[in-house]
């Protein structure tokens, strides 16, 4: 008997500065190549559909914007029941700023990127984790995200703030890649990827595609 294909839903929209349409297309290409059945949506109303509880994976790409409370509650319930979530940068961790339900599920919320586009270093915190295996610390140029994070996350990579652009955070070590459990569901996030072209940077692509695999409900 043939194994059932995993099912994924990409939901994109919100602020166009993060190239949500292009990012959605890239995720769709990766997921299709990995054997997923993929659907793409552009409205948060889909999160209120009880059918999402049957999905294997949800990829949110929806910077800022608003999610209705009923939508957020159903999305979070789906994840608690086993649906995986994976995503990157502001499309996931700066989405739906007024939804505490969503933020609790996500594991972190963006609050600043001192200096805007700058050079910084990404440090691998768990080199033996399957998502990070084979990766070494690397230099990166983009927004260095300062996050408010859930202490329960499992941190896979970090960055350290120099204090050049915000002296009061000098030496702060901040999560860049993490995974967490939310009920029966797996949640994966990477704060890199301000613009779509960054998703093609080898380290970022490897982190995201492996994170997708980890988060997917088996």
Q: What is the pLDDT of residues 110-146, one digit of tens each?
A: 999 999 999 999 999 999 999 999 999 999 999 999 9
Residue 119: the pLDDT is 98
| Rounded Cα–Cα distance for residues 52 and 180 (Å) | 20
Topology of domain 7-215, CATH = Rossmann fold (3.40.50)
In this predicted model, what pLDDT tens digit does every residue of 32-62 receive, in sequence order? Answer: 999 999 999 999 999 999 999 999 999 999 9
Q: How confident is the model at residue 3 (pLDDT cuts 50, 70, 90)?
A: confident
pLDDT confidence tier of residue 1, bands split at 50, 70 and 90: low
Looking only at the bridges linking them, the beta strands covering 57-63 and 7-14 are parallel
Q: Is 127 in a helix, a strand, or coil? A: coil
Average pLDDT, the chain: 97
At 161, is the pLDDT very low, low, confident or very high (cuts 50, 70, 90)?
very high
3-state secondary structure of 214: helix
CB-CB contact of 126 with 178 (8 Å): no
């Amino acid at each position: 008997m043939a194994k059932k294909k995993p099912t994924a839903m990409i939901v994109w929209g919100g602020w166009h500065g993060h190239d949500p349409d292009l990012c959605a297309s890239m995720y769709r290409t990766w997921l299709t190549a990995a054997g997923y059945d993929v659907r793409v949506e552009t409205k948060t109303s889909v999160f209120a559909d009880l059918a999402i509880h049957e999905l294997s994976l949800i990829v949110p790409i929806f910077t800022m914007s608003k999610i209705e409370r009923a939508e957020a509650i159903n999305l979070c319930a789906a994840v608690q029941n086993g649906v995986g979530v994976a995503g990157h940068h502001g499309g996931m961790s700066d989405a739906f700023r007024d939804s505490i339900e969503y933020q609790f599920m996500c594991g972190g919320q963006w609050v600043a990127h001192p200096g805007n586009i700058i050079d910084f270093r990404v440090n691998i915190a768990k080199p033996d984790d399957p998502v990070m295996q084979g990766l070494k610390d690397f230099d990166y140029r983009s927004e260095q995200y300062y996050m408010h994070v859930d202490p329960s996350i499992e941190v896979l990579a970090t960055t350290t703030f120099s204090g050049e652009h915000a002296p009061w955070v000098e030496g702060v070590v901040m999560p860049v890649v993490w995974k967490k459990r939310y009920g029966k569901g797996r949640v994966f996030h990477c704060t890199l990827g301000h613009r779509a072209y960054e998703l093609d940077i080898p380290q970022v692509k490897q982190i995201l595609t492996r994170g997708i695999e980890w988060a997917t409900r088996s």
